[in-house]
Amino acid sequence: MTRAEREAFLADLHVGVIAIERPARAPLAVPIWYAYEPGGELLIWIETGSVKARCIRDAGRFSLTAQDEHPPYRYVTVEGEVSSIEPASAEIALLIAVRYLGKEAGAEYVEQNLTAETVVVRMRPQRWLSLDPSRQ
């Protein structure tokens, strides 16, 4: 994929899978909702006490893979250093939740899940890996 194609693919609606290093164990790999705009930072919204949050804080970096689950099974993987971890704002939580659930259900989800214990993790993709077999 070209740079523009892979950034557009990542910006499309996909459930991502993050992978985070852990000492003395296999990397943590879990599905996650995210937000991304081409040229920007990848955003995830998580609980501060979650295993994901602890692993991200410890490692200081993570990777995320987004895939198309229909032939030709395209994917994009990004990895990078965490640029910030900050308290989650309603604006960012809504951006992510509405992306996956729509306006009404997304707003309800944020109302039920945005707490003082949630944070937004930002990562600017530094390395990319992508595949689109239809372009080969």
Rounded CA gap, 90 and 113, in Å? 10
Measured CA to CA in angstroms, residue 68 lies from 28, 62, 75 at distances of 21, 20, 6
SS (H, E, C) the chain: CCHHHHHHHHHCCCCEEEEECCCCCCCEEEEECCECCCCCCEEEEEECCCHHHHHHHHHCEEEEEEECCCCCCCEEEEEEEEEEEEECCHHHHHHHHHHHHCHHHHHHHHHHHCCCCEEEEEECCCEEEEECHHHC
Q: Give me the pLDDT at residue 136, please.
A: 61
Q: Give me the pLDDT at residue 110, please.
A: 97
Per cent of the chain over pLDDT 90 is: 90
pLDDT band at 21 (very low <50, low <70, confident <90, very high): very high
SS (H, E, C) 90-114: HHHHHHHHHHHHCHHHHHHHHHHHC
Q: Give residue-wise pLDDT tens across range 33-53.
A: 999 999 999 999 999 999 999
- Measured from the Cβ of residue 72, the count of other Cβ atoms closer than 10 Å reads 11
Q: Give residue-wise pLDDT tens across range 88-113.
A: 999 999 999 999 999 999 999 999 99
User: Above 80 in pLDDT, residue 125?
Assistant: yes
Q: Is 3.60.15.10 the CATH number for 3-135?
A: no
| Mean pLDDT across the chain | 95
Which backbone phi and psi does 75 adopt, to 5 degrees? -150, 160
Nearest by Cα to 83 from 61, 51, 65: 61
Segments making up each domain of the chain, as ranges: 3-135
Q: Give me the pLDDT at residue 72, please.
A: 86
